[in-house]
Each structure stands twice: as C-alpha cells, then as structure tokens.
Structure 1
Amino acid sequence: MKNPEIFNQTYTTYWKKLNAFSYTMTQDKDLAQNIVQDVFVDLWERKEDLNISAIEPYLFRAVKNQVFKHYQNNRFDKTVLEDKFEDYIIDNFATIDPELTDLLYSLLDKLPEKRKEVLLMYKFQDMSIEQIADELGISKQTVKNQISAALKQLRAGMKEITWLLPYLFLSSKFLR
C-alpha cells in the first residue's frame, strides 16, 4: 500500500462499499463517511508498518472496529451494531470473503430443506414472495414465515461464529 497509485485505486474501489457498510451500521450519513475517511487516513499513515495480505476484509474489519469504537466511546449498546453487521453479511452474501462464505454455506446446510429453498429463492434468485409462493404452491404468509425463520436461524448461527471473523479476515489471500 506504499504506492500512491495502489492506494488511490483501493480508495476508489472500496469507498462506496465501505460507506454503505458503515451507514448500515450507524444510520448516520456524516458519521459513516467520517468513519470510512478515518480508516483510509489511518491506512495511509500506517502504510510503512502494515503488511496486509487481504485488503477488502481488512478494510471492512477496520470500519466495523471504528464504528464499535465510536459507539463504545459514546456508551451505546454494541449488540445492535453486531446485529446490523450480521444483517449486512447475510444481505451481501455473494460478495463476502470466500472463507466466510464457506462457513455461511455450512449454516445454510443446517436449515430445513424447504426453508433453505425459500431463502435461496428470495436472496439469491431475487424472487418476490409472491413468485416463490406461486412456484412452490404455498401461501405468501408461509413464504414470509420461512424467510423470517431462516434469517433468524442464520443470525443465531452467525453469533456462534462471530469470534472467527477476525481470523478469517487475517488469513484471507485477497490481495498480494
């Protein structure tokens, strides 16, 4: 990251994603932008000392940590932020680090077959509740219930693996 061109490319590539991630957690546009800016300033200032093997997970973790730090300093409840982080991972499943994706797939495999099918149709095939109900011959309410139960089960599973996230991000080989 010592090269200014690589830094600028990284900034351009990740600014929007990180800002959206930060906003998801903070629900405050200015705070979200400030946090992302602080992460990039810190990255540039520490460029001589850092040895980052995976830039994307590093940046997302840095933003998450800055958000937690902000709220910890302001004495807010961190559990709400952890829930938002889990929501973000579930909602952005396809773009998450491959090692984390493997863990999420293992959580998906623990879902009952019909629940898993409904969730996959909803999240990965972008089908509407009505389309899923028609396709599977079940009521819209049943589809909603299955999606809700699946997300609840995934979130519970995410809480169990949250402690692994820093290790996954550190071991990732995204950028060499």
Structure 2
Amino acid sequence: MNSYAVFTDQKLIISMKSGNQMAFEEIYERHWSALYRSAYNVLREEAGSLDVVQEVFIWFWEHRDQLEVNSIRGYLLTAVKYKVANYLRSGKVRASFYDAIPKVDLDTAFPNEELEVKELREMINRFTEELPDRCKEVFRLSRDEYLTNKEIALRLGITEKTVENQINKAIKKLKTNLGKLSVFLSL
C-alpha cells in the first residue's frame, strides 16, 4: 500500500496540482475502471473505450494546474461522456455501436449511467423517426427485431443489397446527427 492510498481525493488534487505524479497515479488507480466501464457501456468496444479513458487522463494531467474539481470521480466521468461523444462524432466507432444500443442491459448499468443510456436510446429513436419510411422500416427490423439482412429482404420483397444500403444510410444519418449534437459537448 502506497502512502497516497490514504489521501482523500481533495488532498490528491492539491498534491497533483503541484506536479506530484504519484498523486496522479493514485487518482488513476482509484478511478480508471469506473471510467472504462462508463465508456464501454456506450461504445461496446475495448480499444475505443481504452482510448477514451487514456485521452481523459492525459488531458487531466496536462491541465492539472487549471483544475477546479469538487468531485474527481464526477469530473472524470463527465469528461468521459464528452470524449465518448467526440469519439462518435469523429466516426471512429464501428457500425457495431449501433448493433449494441438495443442490447445494453440497463439493470446492470451503474445508476448514474442508466439515465444517460436511456437518453442516448431516445435520441437514436428520435433520429430514426426522421429517416425516410423504407429506411426507417429496414433499420428497425434490423435493430429492434434483430433480423438478418436476408430475412429483411425476404420480408419486404427487396434485395439484400438494398437492405444493406438502407442500413448504411440510416447509420450515416445517425452518426451525422450524433456528431452535430456532440459539438456542444466537446471538452
């Protein structure tokens, strides 16, 4: 057990602000797993979630002398939320992000993240409503009913290529809309 393990978060911030890297490392050890889980609950990809957390901690260290923080955990979780939004806006997230949204189990999510996941689902549903009728129908059959492209094509009497094109069109529009939204959330 290192000597910083007994420090309160406020003492760690004060120490870190003066350039103490050991205090920063203790903050990292205390909070990185919660930040990773928060990012992963939305992105559903390990590499992207790790990137987000790393970027948040790098920024946190580089701006340590300017920080006015009451709750380290709350501050860092908020930073992760904004970084995730930026990550989505930048298009780094794979289409599998949209596959994972309906599968997020809110019962196992952390209480303070449950509302954010619900809000994200509601935003996606609102954006989906803006899609052309055929595109909306194909996207919902894929995401809500979990039908394969082949099953959707058979049900609607269209080609699998048309199904694929409609899903890609929907995902592109959702990325664009989420990107516009996240402009207001940047760090």
TM-score (normalised: structure 1): 0.54
Aligned to 1:127: 147
Rounded Cα–Cα distance in structure 2 between residues aligned with 1:13 and 1:122: 31
Larger radius of gyration: 2
Q: Which runs of 5+ in 2 are unaligned?
A: 1-7, 10-27, 105-115
Aligned to 1:35: 54
Residues 81, 164 of structure 1: alpha-carbon distance in 2 compared, 3 angstrom cutoff: closer
Counterpart check, 1:150 vs 2:165: no
Residues 159, 8 of structure 1: alpha-carbon distance in 2 compared, 3 angstrom cutoff: closer
Task: Decide whether the 8 Å contact of 1:22 with 1:36 is kept in 2.
Answer: no
Please, which moves more after superposition, 153-162 or 88-97?
Answer: 88-97
Q: Which runs of 5+ in 1 are unaligned?
A: 26-30, 68-79, 168-176
Aligned residues: 144
Equivalent of 1:59 in 80, 86, 90: 80
Aligned to 2:91: 83
Equivalent of 1:23 in 47, 50, 63: 47
1 or 2 for the larger relative contact order (CA 8 Å, sep ≥6)? 1
Q: CA deviation at 1:90?
A: 3.2
Rounded Cα–Cα distance in structure 2 between residues aligned with 1:37 and 1:153: 27
Q: CA deviation at 1:123?
A: 2.3
Task: Decide whether the 8 Å contact of 1:15 with 1:36 is kept in 2.
Answer: no
Task: Decide whether the 8 Å contact of 1:18 with 1:36 is kept in 2.
Answer: no
Aligned to 1:116: 136
Q: CA deviation at 1:17?
A: 6.7
Equivalent of 1:103 in 96, 113, 123: 123
The Cα offsets for residues 116-158 of structure 1, whole Å up to 9 and x where unpaired, read as 1111221232211111111222221211121121112222222
Task: Decide whether the 8 Å contact of 1:115 with 1:147 is kept in 2.
Answer: yes
After superposition, the CA RMSD in angstroms is: 4.6
Task: Decide whether the 8 Å contact of 2:131 with 2:170 is kept in 1.
Answer: yes
